[in-house]
Chain A
Protein backbone atom coordinates (compact mmCIF):
# COMPACT_ATOMS: atom_id res chain seq x y z
CA UNK A 1 0.00 0.00 0.00
CA UNK A 2 1.34 3.39 -0.88
CA UNK A 3 -0.20 6.77 -0.66
CA UNK A 4 1.44 9.93 -1.86
CA UNK A 5 -0.23 12.86 -0.23
CA UNK A 6 -0.68 16.08 -2.18
CA UNK A 7 1.51 14.96 -5.05
CA UNK A 8 3.82 17.88 -5.69
CA UNK A 9 3.79 19.30 -9.21
CA UNK A 10 5.84 17.00 -11.43
CA UNK A 11 9.44 18.17 -11.46
CA UNK A 12 11.57 17.42 -14.45
CA UNK A 13 13.63 14.27 -14.33
CA UNK A 14 13.64 12.74 -10.85
CA UNK A 15 16.94 11.10 -9.92
CA UNK A 16 15.05 7.98 -8.94
CA UNK A 17 11.52 6.76 -9.51
CA UNK A 18 10.28 3.74 -7.57
CA UNK A 19 6.89 2.55 -8.84
CA UNK A 20 4.85 -0.08 -6.99
CA UNK A 21 8.00 -2.01 -6.12
CA UNK A 22 7.25 -5.31 -4.41
CA UNK A 23 9.64 -7.96 -3.14
CA UNK A 24 8.37 -11.35 -2.08
CA UNK A 25 10.72 -13.96 -0.64
CA UNK A 26 8.93 -17.25 -0.17
CA UNK A 27 5.65 -16.50 1.59
CA UNK A 28 6.99 -13.27 3.05
CA UNK A 29 6.26 -9.91 1.53
CA UNK A 30 9.27 -7.76 2.30
CA UNK A 31 8.15 -4.78 0.21
CA UNK A 32 4.53 -4.12 -0.72
CA UNK A 33 3.97 -1.79 -3.67
CA UNK A 34 6.36 0.93 -2.57
CA UNK A 35 6.31 4.10 -4.67
CA UNK A 36 8.20 7.38 -4.37
CA UNK A 37 10.46 9.72 -6.29
CA UNK A 38 13.71 11.39 -5.36
CA UNK A 39 14.14 15.02 -6.32
CA UNK A 40 17.64 16.25 -7.14
CA UNK A 41 18.98 18.64 -4.54
CA UNK A 42 16.95 17.32 -1.63
CA UNK A 43 17.52 14.97 1.27
CA UNK A 44 14.97 12.21 1.68
CA UNK A 45 14.75 10.18 4.85
CA UNK A 46 13.91 6.49 4.54
CA UNK A 47 12.47 5.93 8.00
CA UNK A 48 11.36 2.66 9.54
CA UNK A 49 12.02 0.25 12.39
CA UNK A 50 14.40 -2.69 12.04
CA UNK A 51 12.83 -5.23 9.70
CA UNK A 52 10.57 -2.69 8.00
CA UNK A 53 12.30 -3.32 4.66
CA UNK A 54 14.78 -0.43 4.44
CA UNK A 55 17.81 -2.51 3.52
CA UNK A 56 15.83 -4.59 1.01
CA UNK A 57 14.61 -1.40 -0.66
CA UNK A 58 18.18 -0.05 -0.89
CA UNK A 59 19.39 -3.38 -2.30
CA UNK A 60 16.60 -3.30 -4.87
CA UNK A 61 17.62 0.21 -5.94
CA UNK A 62 21.22 -1.00 -6.27
CA UNK A 63 20.03 -3.88 -8.45
CA UNK A 64 21.12 -6.56 -5.99
CA UNK A 65 17.55 -7.60 -5.14
CA UNK A 66 15.11 -8.55 -7.89
CA UNK A 67 11.59 -7.13 -7.71
CA UNK A 68 8.65 -9.49 -7.89
CA UNK A 69 6.53 -6.59 -9.16
CA UNK A 70 6.92 -2.94 -10.08
CA UNK A 71 9.77 -0.87 -11.45
CA UNK A 72 12.72 1.18 -10.35
CA UNK A 73 13.96 3.79 -12.83
CA UNK A 74 17.37 5.35 -12.17
CA UNK A 75 19.01 8.20 -13.99
CA UNK A 76 22.75 8.62 -13.87
CA UNK A 77 25.27 7.07 -11.51
CA UNK A 78 24.49 5.86 -8.02
CA UNK A 79 26.78 6.50 -5.11
CA UNK A 80 26.33 4.05 -2.27
CA UNK A 81 27.54 4.14 1.32
CA UNK A 82 27.01 0.79 3.09
CA UNK A 83 26.24 0.57 6.79
CA UNK A 84 28.64 -2.13 7.79
CA UNK A 85 32.07 -2.04 6.35
CA UNK A 86 34.29 -4.62 7.92
CA UNK A 87 37.71 -4.50 6.42
CA UNK A 88 40.69 -6.42 7.68
CA UNK A 89 43.20 -4.02 9.28
CA UNK A 90 45.85 -5.83 7.20
CA UNK A 91 44.18 -5.02 3.88
CA UNK A 92 46.66 -2.88 1.97
CA UNK A 93 44.25 -0.14 1.01
CA UNK A 94 44.54 3.44 2.20
CA UNK A 95 41.51 5.70 2.38
CA UNK A 96 42.94 7.54 -0.60
CA UNK A 97 43.11 4.30 -2.64
CA UNK A 98 39.48 3.43 -1.88
CA UNK A 99 38.36 6.90 -2.97
CA UNK A 100 40.37 6.44 -6.18
CA UNK A 101 38.53 3.18 -6.88
CA UNK A 102 35.30 5.18 -6.80
CA UNK A 103 36.62 7.06 -9.81
CA UNK A 104 38.17 4.27 -11.88
CA UNK A 105 37.16 0.98 -10.23
CA UNK A 106 35.48 -0.10 -13.45
CA UNK A 107 38.52 0.50 -15.64
CA UNK A 108 40.85 -2.15 -16.99
CA UNK A 109 44.57 -2.04 -16.33
CA UNK A 110 46.76 -1.08 -13.43
CA UNK A 111 46.14 1.93 -11.15
CA UNK A 112 49.20 3.88 -12.26
CA UNK A 113 49.81 7.27 -10.64
CA UNK A 114 48.19 10.22 -12.41
CA UNK A 115 48.20 13.88 -11.42
CA UNK A 116 44.67 14.51 -12.67
CA UNK A 117 43.34 11.58 -10.68
CA UNK A 118 45.26 12.56 -7.54
CA UNK A 119 43.74 16.05 -7.76
CA UNK A 120 40.21 14.69 -8.00
CA UNK A 121 40.80 12.31 -5.10
CA UNK A 122 42.15 15.21 -3.04
CA UNK A 123 39.07 17.30 -3.91
CA UNK A 124 36.68 14.49 -2.90
CA UNK A 125 38.58 14.03 0.37
CA UNK A 126 38.37 17.77 1.03
CA UNK A 127 34.61 17.81 0.49
CA UNK A 128 34.07 15.32 3.29
CA UNK A 129 36.92 16.66 5.44
CA UNK A 130 38.86 13.39 5.34
CA UNK A 131 42.30 14.61 4.29
CA UNK A 132 43.91 14.14 7.69
CA UNK A 133 43.40 10.36 7.74
CA UNK A 134 43.45 9.57 4.01
CA UNK A 135 46.86 7.86 4.20
CA UNK A 136 45.85 5.36 6.87
CA UNK A 137 44.69 1.85 5.97
CA UNK A 138 40.89 1.84 5.74
CA UNK A 139 40.68 -1.14 8.09
CA UNK A 140 42.36 0.86 10.85
CA UNK A 141 40.05 3.89 10.70
CA UNK A 142 37.20 4.50 13.14
CA UNK A 143 33.61 3.97 12.02
CA UNK A 144 33.03 7.68 11.45
CA UNK A 145 36.30 8.07 9.51
CA UNK A 146 35.50 5.05 7.32
CA UNK A 147 32.12 6.58 6.61
CA UNK A 148 33.69 9.79 5.35
CA UNK A 149 36.07 7.84 3.12
CA UNK A 150 33.13 5.82 1.76
CA UNK A 151 31.24 9.05 1.16
CA UNK A 152 34.17 10.46 -0.81
CA UNK A 153 34.33 7.13 -2.71
CA UNK A 154 30.67 7.57 -3.63
CA UNK A 155 30.92 11.29 -4.50
CA UNK A 156 33.97 11.14 -6.75
CA UNK A 157 32.10 9.41 -9.57
CA UNK A 158 29.73 12.41 -9.66
CA UNK A 159 26.53 10.48 -9.01
CA UNK A 160 23.04 11.92 -9.34
CA UNK A 161 21.82 9.71 -6.58
CA UNK A 162 23.39 9.01 -3.20
CA UNK A 163 22.17 6.11 -1.07
CA UNK A 164 23.25 5.81 2.55
CA UNK A 165 22.33 2.78 4.65
CA UNK A 166 21.91 3.82 8.31
CA UNK A 167 24.77 6.32 8.24
CA UNK A 168 23.92 7.63 11.71
CA UNK A 169 23.54 4.28 13.45
CA UNK A 170 27.02 4.08 14.93
CA UNK A 171 27.81 7.74 15.43
CA UNK A 172 27.65 9.82 18.58
CA UNK A 173 25.17 12.71 18.50
CA UNK A 174 27.70 15.36 17.53
CA UNK A 175 29.21 13.36 14.64
CA UNK A 176 25.71 12.46 13.47
CA UNK A 177 24.78 16.13 13.35
CA UNK A 178 27.96 16.91 11.38
CA UNK A 179 27.24 14.15 8.87
CA UNK A 180 23.63 15.27 8.42
CA UNK A 181 24.71 18.86 7.81
CA UNK A 182 27.38 17.69 5.37
CA UNK A 183 24.91 15.56 3.40
CA UNK A 184 22.42 18.39 3.21
CA UNK A 185 25.12 20.74 1.90
CA UNK A 186 26.32 18.17 -0.67
CA UNK A 187 22.75 17.57 -1.88
CA UNK A 188 22.27 21.28 -2.53
CA UNK A 189 25.74 21.90 -4.04
CA UNK A 190 25.76 18.94 -6.41
CA UNK A 191 22.05 18.69 -7.24
CA UNK A 192 22.13 15.23 -5.67
CA UNK A 193 19.12 13.15 -4.76
CA UNK A 194 20.13 11.87 -1.32
CA UNK A 195 18.33 8.93 0.29
CA UNK A 196 19.26 8.26 3.92
CA UNK A 197 17.88 5.25 5.75
CA UNK A 198 17.42 5.60 9.50
CA UNK A 199 15.34 4.05 12.26
CA UNK A 200 15.16 7.34 14.09
CA UNK A 201 13.83 10.43 12.34
CA UNK A 202 14.70 13.27 14.69
CA UNK A 203 18.30 13.60 13.60
CA UNK A 204 17.15 14.03 10.02
CA UNK A 205 14.22 16.39 10.70
CA UNK A 206 16.14 19.66 10.19
CA UNK A 207 17.30 18.71 6.67
CA UNK A 208 14.68 16.33 5.33
CA UNK A 209 12.82 17.66 2.30
CA UNK A 210 10.87 14.47 1.96
CA UNK A 211 10.23 11.38 4.03
CA UNK A 212 9.55 7.82 2.92
CA UNK A 213 8.10 6.08 5.96
CA UNK A 214 8.25 2.26 5.88
CA UNK A 215 6.27 -0.12 8.11
CA UNK A 216 5.93 -3.83 7.41
CA UNK A 217 7.02 -3.35 3.83
CA UNK A 218 4.42 -0.66 3.10
CA UNK A 219 5.47 2.92 2.49
CA UNK A 220 4.03 6.37 2.60
CA UNK A 221 5.88 9.37 1.25
CA UNK A 222 5.58 13.13 1.26
CA UNK A 223 6.85 16.11 3.24
CA UNK A 224 7.40 15.52 6.96
CA UNK A 225 4.35 17.64 7.84
CA UNK A 226 2.22 15.48 5.58
CA UNK A 227 3.52 12.12 6.73
CA UNK A 228 4.45 12.41 10.41
CA UNK A 229 0.86 12.72 11.60
CA UNK A 230 -1.20 10.45 13.83
CA UNK A 231 -3.95 9.81 11.26
CA UNK A 232 -1.54 9.09 8.39
CA UNK A 233 0.80 6.82 10.35
CA UNK A 234 -2.13 5.00 11.98
CA UNK A 235 -3.30 4.11 8.49
CA UNK A 236 0.20 2.88 7.60
CA UNK A 237 0.69 0.82 10.78
CA UNK A 238 -2.94 -0.39 10.57
CA UNK A 239 -3.46 0.37 14.22
CA UNK A 240 -3.69 3.57 16.19
CA UNK A 241 -0.48 5.47 16.79
CA UNK A 242 0.13 8.89 18.33
CA UNK A 243 2.66 11.45 17.20
CA UNK A 244 3.95 13.44 20.17
CA UNK A 245 5.97 16.62 19.97
CA UNK A 246 8.31 16.93 22.92
CA UNK A 247 10.76 19.85 23.08
CA UNK A 248 11.03 20.02 19.31
CA UNK A 249 11.45 16.27 18.98
CA UNK A 250 8.92 13.96 17.41
CA UNK A 251 8.02 10.68 19.08
CA UNK A 252 5.80 8.10 17.41
CA UNK A 253 4.14 5.76 19.92
CA UNK A 254 1.62 2.94 19.67
CA UNK A 255 -1.92 3.82 20.78
CA UNK A 256 -1.57 2.44 24.29
CA UNK A 257 1.55 4.50 24.72
CA UNK A 258 3.68 1.60 25.84
CA UNK A 259 5.67 1.17 22.66
CA UNK A 260 7.82 3.84 21.09
CA UNK A 261 7.87 3.15 17.36
CA UNK A 262 10.17 5.85 16.09
Chain B
Protein backbone atom coordinates (compact mmCIF):
# COMPACT_ATOMS: atom_id res chain seq x y z
CA UNK B 1 0.00 0.00 0.00
CA UNK B 2 2.94 2.41 0.52
CA UNK B 3 3.39 2.50 -3.26
CA UNK B 4 -0.16 3.76 -3.56
CA UNK B 5 0.37 7.26 -2.24
CA UNK B 6 3.71 7.70 -4.01
CA UNK B 7 2.29 6.92 -7.47
CA UNK B 8 1.85 10.07 -9.59
CA UNK B 9 -1.08 8.44 -11.44
CA UNK B 10 -2.85 7.86 -8.13
CA UNK B 11 -2.16 11.40 -6.94
CA UNK B 12 -3.53 12.86 -10.14
CA UNK B 13 -6.56 10.56 -10.05
CA UNK B 14 -7.26 11.38 -6.40
CA UNK B 15 -6.93 15.15 -6.99
CA UNK B 16 -9.07 15.32 -10.10
CA UNK B 17 -11.48 12.78 -8.63
CA UNK B 18 -12.05 14.93 -5.55
CA UNK B 19 -12.69 18.09 -7.60
CA UNK B 20 -15.09 16.19 -9.84
CA UNK B 21 -16.89 14.65 -6.86
CA UNK B 22 -17.57 18.10 -5.39
CA UNK B 23 -18.93 19.53 -8.65
CA UNK B 24 -21.03 16.44 -9.37
CA UNK B 25 -22.44 16.39 -5.84
CA UNK B 26 -23.36 20.09 -5.90
CA UNK B 27 -25.10 19.93 -9.26
CA UNK B 28 -26.57 16.58 -8.23
CA UNK B 29 -28.47 18.15 -5.32
CA UNK B 30 -30.22 20.53 -7.72
CA UNK B 31 -30.73 17.76 -10.27
CA UNK B 32 -32.52 15.63 -7.69
CA UNK B 33 -34.56 18.57 -6.41
CA UNK B 34 -35.57 19.51 -9.96
CA UNK B 35 -36.32 15.86 -10.85
CA UNK B 36 -34.03 16.17 -13.87
CA UNK B 37 -31.96 13.03 -13.43
CA UNK B 38 -33.05 11.95 -16.91
CA UNK B 39 -31.55 15.14 -18.40
CA UNK B 40 -28.28 14.34 -16.60
CA UNK B 41 -28.36 10.73 -17.82
CA UNK B 42 -29.01 11.90 -21.40
CA UNK B 43 -26.11 14.31 -21.26
CA UNK B 44 -23.83 11.52 -20.06
CA UNK B 45 -24.93 9.25 -22.90
CA UNK B 46 -24.47 11.97 -25.51
CA UNK B 47 -21.10 12.68 -23.90
CA UNK B 48 -20.03 9.21 -25.07
CA UNK B 49 -19.88 10.56 -28.63
CA UNK B 50 -17.70 13.45 -27.46
CA UNK B 51 -15.34 11.15 -25.61
CA UNK B 52 -14.98 8.88 -28.64
CA UNK B 53 -14.54 11.89 -30.96
CA UNK B 54 -11.78 13.24 -28.74
CA UNK B 55 -9.80 10.01 -29.15
CA UNK B 56 -10.16 10.17 -32.93
CA UNK B 57 -9.04 13.79 -33.01
CA UNK B 58 -6.28 13.17 -30.43
CA UNK B 59 -7.51 15.93 -28.14
CA UNK B 60 -8.00 15.51 -24.40
CA UNK B 61 -11.09 13.53 -23.34
CA UNK B 62 -12.27 16.40 -21.07
CA UNK B 63 -12.62 18.64 -24.11
CA UNK B 64 -14.57 15.97 -26.00
CA UNK B 65 -16.94 15.21 -23.12
CA UNK B 66 -17.51 18.89 -22.33
CA UNK B 67 -18.16 19.82 -25.97
CA UNK B 68 -20.72 17.02 -26.36
CA UNK B 69 -22.56 17.66 -23.08
CA UNK B 70 -22.67 21.42 -23.67
CA UNK B 71 -24.13 20.78 -27.13
CA UNK B 72 -26.67 18.48 -25.46
CA UNK B 73 -27.56 21.26 -23.00
CA UNK B 74 -28.10 23.71 -25.87
CA UNK B 75 -30.32 21.23 -27.71
CA UNK B 76 -32.37 20.58 -24.56
CA UNK B 77 -32.84 24.32 -24.06
CA UNK B 78 -33.95 24.74 -27.68
CA UNK B 79 -36.40 21.87 -27.35
CA UNK B 80 -37.75 23.39 -24.17
CA UNK B 81 -37.14 20.33 -22.04
CA UNK B 82 -37.43 22.33 -18.82
CA UNK B 83 -40.43 24.42 -19.73
CA UNK B 84 -42.70 21.47 -20.41
CA UNK B 85 -41.93 18.82 -17.86
CA UNK B 86 -42.21 15.35 -19.24
CA UNK B 87 -40.79 16.02 -22.69
CA UNK B 88 -39.03 12.73 -22.17
CA UNK B 89 -39.91 11.60 -25.68
CA UNK B 90 -37.97 14.40 -27.35
CA UNK B 91 -35.05 13.88 -25.03
CA UNK B 92 -35.22 10.18 -25.80
CA UNK B 93 -35.07 10.78 -29.55
CA UNK B 94 -32.07 13.12 -29.25
CA UNK B 95 -30.52 10.59 -26.94
CA UNK B 96 -30.92 7.85 -29.55
CA UNK B 97 -29.21 10.03 -32.16
CA UNK B 98 -26.35 10.67 -29.72
CA UNK B 99 -25.91 6.94 -29.13
CA UNK B 100 -25.90 6.25 -32.86
CA UNK B 101 -23.12 8.79 -33.30
CA UNK B 102 -21.26 7.23 -30.36
CA UNK B 103 -21.56 3.81 -31.94
CA UNK B 104 -20.04 5.10 -35.18
CA UNK B 105 -17.19 6.99 -33.52
CA UNK B 106 -16.36 4.14 -31.14
CA UNK B 107 -16.41 1.70 -34.05
CA UNK B 108 -13.97 3.83 -36.01
CA UNK B 109 -11.79 4.35 -32.95
CA UNK B 110 -11.59 0.66 -32.01
CA UNK B 111 -10.81 -0.51 -35.53
CA UNK B 112 -7.74 1.69 -35.29
CA UNK B 113 -5.17 -0.42 -33.43
CA UNK B 114 -3.55 2.40 -31.50
CA UNK B 115 -6.73 3.17 -29.56
CA UNK B 116 -7.95 -0.31 -28.69
CA UNK B 117 -9.03 0.45 -25.13
CA UNK B 118 -11.16 3.41 -26.18
CA UNK B 119 -14.62 1.94 -25.73
CA UNK B 120 -13.99 0.84 -22.19
CA UNK B 121 -12.24 4.09 -21.24
CA UNK B 122 -14.93 6.34 -22.69
CA UNK B 123 -17.90 4.44 -21.35
CA UNK B 124 -16.52 3.30 -18.00
CA UNK B 125 -13.76 5.80 -17.28
CA UNK B 126 -10.20 5.29 -16.23
CA UNK B 127 -9.06 7.27 -13.23
CA UNK B 128 -5.53 5.87 -13.44
CA UNK B 129 -5.15 6.91 -17.07
CA UNK B 130 -5.79 10.64 -16.59
CA UNK B 131 -3.17 12.81 -18.21
CA UNK B 132 -1.55 15.67 -16.34
CA UNK B 133 -2.10 17.80 -19.45
CA UNK B 134 -5.85 17.57 -18.71
CA UNK B 135 -5.41 18.93 -15.20
CA UNK B 136 -5.66 22.67 -15.93
CA UNK B 137 -8.72 22.39 -18.16
CA UNK B 138 -10.44 19.99 -15.77
CA UNK B 139 -9.92 22.21 -12.74
CA UNK B 140 -10.97 25.34 -14.68
CA UNK B 141 -14.21 23.71 -15.78
CA UNK B 142 -14.83 22.50 -12.23
CA UNK B 143 -14.30 26.03 -10.89
CA UNK B 144 -16.72 27.51 -13.46
CA UNK B 145 -19.51 25.01 -12.77
CA UNK B 146 -19.11 25.28 -9.01
CA UNK B 147 -18.85 29.09 -9.12
CA UNK B 148 -22.02 29.49 -11.18
CA UNK B 149 -24.01 27.09 -9.00
CA UNK B 150 -22.93 28.60 -5.68
CA UNK B 151 -23.46 32.16 -6.94
CA UNK B 152 -26.99 31.29 -8.07
CA UNK B 153 -27.68 29.04 -5.07
CA UNK B 154 -30.69 30.91 -3.67
CA UNK B 155 -32.43 31.87 -6.93
CA UNK B 156 -31.92 28.31 -8.22
CA UNK B 157 -33.25 26.83 -5.00
CA UNK B 158 -36.37 29.00 -5.14
CA UNK B 159 -36.95 28.33 -8.85
CA UNK B 160 -36.45 24.60 -8.25
CA UNK B 161 -38.94 24.66 -5.38
CA UNK B 162 -41.78 26.38 -7.22
CA UNK B 163 -41.67 28.36 -10.47
CA UNK B 164 -44.65 30.55 -9.52
CA UNK B 165 -43.00 31.66 -6.29
CA UNK B 166 -39.81 32.48 -8.19
CA UNK B 167 -41.76 34.39 -10.84
CA UNK B 168 -43.52 36.42 -8.13
CA UNK B 169 -40.07 37.56 -6.98
CA UNK B 170 -39.24 38.57 -10.52
CA UNK B 171 -36.57 35.91 -11.13
CA UNK B 172 -35.68 35.20 -14.79
CA UNK B 173 -36.71 31.54 -14.84
CA UNK B 174 -35.52 30.70 -18.33
CA UNK B 175 -32.09 32.23 -17.82
CA UNK B 176 -31.70 30.44 -14.49
CA UNK B 177 -32.72 27.14 -16.06
CA UNK B 178 -30.19 27.53 -18.84
CA UNK B 179 -27.38 28.47 -16.42
CA UNK B 180 -28.21 25.31 -14.47
CA UNK B 181 -28.19 23.18 -17.63
CA UNK B 182 -24.75 24.50 -18.65
CA UNK B 183 -23.31 23.87 -15.18
CA UNK B 184 -24.88 20.40 -15.30
CA UNK B 185 -23.25 19.79 -18.68
CA UNK B 186 -19.83 20.52 -17.18
CA UNK B 187 -20.52 18.37 -14.13
CA UNK B 188 -21.58 15.44 -16.31
CA UNK B 189 -18.51 15.84 -18.55
CA UNK B 190 -16.23 15.78 -15.49
CA UNK B 191 -18.05 12.79 -14.02
CA UNK B 192 -17.69 11.01 -17.37
CA UNK B 193 -13.96 11.61 -17.19
CA UNK B 194 -13.67 9.82 -13.85
CA UNK B 195 -16.27 7.04 -13.91
CA UNK B 196 -17.12 7.03 -17.63
CA UNK B 197 -20.00 8.46 -19.60
CA UNK B 198 -22.35 5.56 -18.87
CA UNK B 199 -21.80 5.70 -15.11
CA UNK B 200 -21.64 9.49 -14.79
CA UNK B 201 -25.23 9.70 -13.51
CA UNK B 202 -24.31 7.52 -10.56
CA UNK B 203 -21.72 10.03 -9.38
CA UNK B 204 -24.08 12.92 -10.13
CA UNK B 205 -27.26 11.67 -8.49
CA UNK B 206 -26.09 9.02 -5.98
CA UNK B 207 -24.27 11.17 -3.39
CA UNK B 208 -26.92 13.91 -3.71
CA UNK B 209 -29.82 11.51 -3.21
CA UNK B 210 -28.01 10.05 -0.19
CA UNK B 211 -27.40 13.51 1.31
CA UNK B 212 -31.08 14.42 0.95
CA UNK B 213 -31.88 11.48 3.21
CA UNK B 214 -29.47 12.70 5.85
CA UNK B 215 -30.37 16.37 6.23
CA UNK B 216 -33.33 18.76 6.01
CA UNK B 217 -31.21 21.72 4.91
CA UNK B 218 -30.22 22.53 1.35
CA UNK B 219 -26.70 23.87 1.98
CA UNK B 220 -25.85 20.97 4.27
CA UNK B 221 -27.09 18.58 1.60
CA UNK B 222 -24.44 20.00 -0.77
CA UNK B 223 -21.69 19.59 1.84
CA UNK B 224 -22.75 16.02 2.78
CA UNK B 225 -23.06 15.02 -0.90
CA UNK B 226 -19.56 16.35 -1.60
CA UNK B 227 -18.09 14.41 1.33
CA UNK B 228 -19.87 11.22 0.23
CA UNK B 229 -18.68 11.72 -3.36
CA UNK B 230 -15.06 12.30 -2.37
CA UNK B 231 -15.18 9.34 0.00
CA UNK B 232 -16.50 7.04 -2.74
CA UNK B 233 -13.89 8.21 -5.28
CA UNK B 234 -10.93 7.91 -2.91
CA UNK B 235 -11.97 4.60 -1.39
CA UNK B 236 -12.72 3.35 -4.90
CA UNK B 237 -9.19 4.29 -5.94
CA UNK B 238 -7.68 2.42 -3.01
CA UNK B 239 -9.73 -0.70 -3.77
CA UNK B 240 -8.90 -0.50 -7.49
CA UNK B 241 -5.19 -0.18 -6.66
CA UNK B 242 -5.45 -3.11 -4.27
CA UNK B 243 -7.32 -5.21 -6.84
CA UNK B 244 -4.19 -5.62 -9.00
CA UNK B 245 -3.52 -8.67 -6.85
CA UNK B 246 -7.08 -9.96 -7.20
CA UNK B 247 -8.35 -12.73 -9.45
CA UNK B 248 -9.15 -13.47 -12.16
CA UNK B 249 -6.68 -11.62 -14.38
CA UNK B 250 -4.38 -9.76 -11.97
CA UNK B 251 -4.95 -6.68 -14.12
CA UNK B 252 -6.88 -4.79 -11.51
CA UNK B 253 -10.61 -4.09 -11.41
CA UNK B 254 -11.91 -0.82 -12.85
CA UNK B 255 -12.03 2.01 -10.30
CA UNK B 256 -15.44 3.11 -11.61
CA UNK B 257 -16.94 -0.21 -10.50
CA UNK B 258 -15.82 0.34 -6.93
CA UNK B 259 -16.87 3.99 -6.93
CA UNK B 260 -20.39 3.30 -8.16
CA UNK B 261 -20.74 0.30 -5.85
CA UNK B 262 -19.68 2.46 -2.89
CA UNK B 263 -22.16 5.18 -3.91
CA UNK B 264 -24.91 2.56 -3.98
CA UNK B 265 -23.89 1.28 -0.52
CA UNK B 266 -23.96 4.85 0.84
CA UNK B 267 -27.42 5.39 -0.65
CA UNK B 268 -28.79 2.20 0.89
CA UNK B 269 -27.23 3.06 4.25
CA UNK B 270 -28.67 6.60 4.03
CA UNK B 271 -32.13 5.23 3.30
CA UNK B 272 -31.85 2.86 6.23
CA UNK B 273 -30.75 5.65 8.53
CA UNK B 274 -33.67 7.82 7.42
CA UNK B 275 -36.21 5.09 8.13
CA UNK B 276 -34.65 4.50 11.53
CA UNK B 277 -34.65 8.23 12.35
CA UNK B 278 -38.27 8.62 11.21
CA UNK B 279 -39.37 5.69 13.33
CA UNK B 280 -37.58 7.10 16.35
CA UNK B 281 -39.18 10.51 15.80
CA UNK B 282 -42.66 9.03 15.39
Binding site for B on A (CB under 8 A): 62-64, 78-80, 82, 85, 87-88, 90-94, 97-98, 101-102, 104-111, 135-138, 150, 153-154, 157, 163
Say how far A54's CB is from chain B's closest CB, in angstroms.
14
Say how far B230's CB is from chain A's closest CB, in angstroms.
19
Stretch of B6-14, B64-72, B149-157 with 4 or more beta carbons under 8 angstroms from chain A: B149-157
Known: A80-B165, A93-B157, A107-B154. 8 other contacts (CB 8 A): A90-B213, A92-B211, A92-B212, A92-B221, A93-B218, A109-B153, A136-B216, A137-B216
Say how far A254's CB is from chain B's closest CB, in angstroms.
34
Contact between chains at A105 and B169 (CB < 8 Å): yes
Residues from 111 to 161 in B contacting A, C-beta threshold 8 Å:
150-155, 157-158, 161
Contact between chains at A94 and B217 (CB < 8 Å): yes
Number of interface residues of B (CB under 8 A): 31
What residue in chain A is nearest B208 (Cβ atoms)?
Answer: A92
What are 7 A-B residue pairs whose CB atoms fall within 8 Å in the complex?
A79-B168, A93-B217, A93-B218, A101-B161, A111-B218, A138-B161, A154-B168
Say how far A125's CB is from chain B's closest CB, in angstroms.
16
Please name all residues of chain B whose beta carbon is closer than 8 Å to the beta carbon of A63 when the two chains form the complex. 167, 170
Contact between chains at B153 and A93 (CB < 8 Å): no
Q: Does B166 contact A (CB under 8 A)?
A: yes
Residues from 166 to 223 in B contacting A, C-beta threshold 8 Å:
166-171, 211-213, 215-221
Contact between chains at A93 and B161 (CB < 8 Å): yes
Please name all residues of chain B whose beta carbon is closer than 8 Å to the beta carbon of A110 when the two chains form the complex. 150, 153-154, 219
What residue in chain A is nearest B29 (Cβ atoms)?
Answer: A92
Judged by DSSP, the binding face of B is: helix
Binding site for A on B (CB under 8 A): 29, 33, 35, 150-155, 157-158, 161-162, 164-171, 211-213, 215-221
Contact between chains at B161 and A87 (CB < 8 Å): yes
Contact between chains at A98 and B161 (CB < 8 Å): yes
On whether A105 and B212 interact (CB within 8 A), knowing A92-B221, A94-B217, the answer reads no
Partner of B170, one of A82, A87, A101, A106: A106
Q: Could you tell me the distance between the alpha carbons of A104 and B154 in the complex, rounded to whole angstroms?
A: 7
Contact between chains at B169 and A64 (CB < 8 Å): no
Say how far A106's CB is from chain B's closest CB, in angstroms.
6
Q: Could you tell me the distance between the alpha carbons of A156 and B40 in the complex, rounded to whole angstroms?
A: 35
Partner of B157, one of A78, A90, A101: A101
- Ranked nearest first, the 7 interchain pairs of A and B with the lowest CB-CB distance are A80-B168, A105-B158, A92-B221, A101-B158, A82-B164, A108-B151, A92-B212
On whether A106 and B169 interact (CB within 8 A), knowing A94-B217, A97-B217, A111-B154, the answer reads yes
Contact between chains at A109 and B150 (CB < 8 Å): yes
Q: Could you tell me the distance between the alpha carbons of A85 and B162 in the complex, rounded to whole angstroms?
A: 8
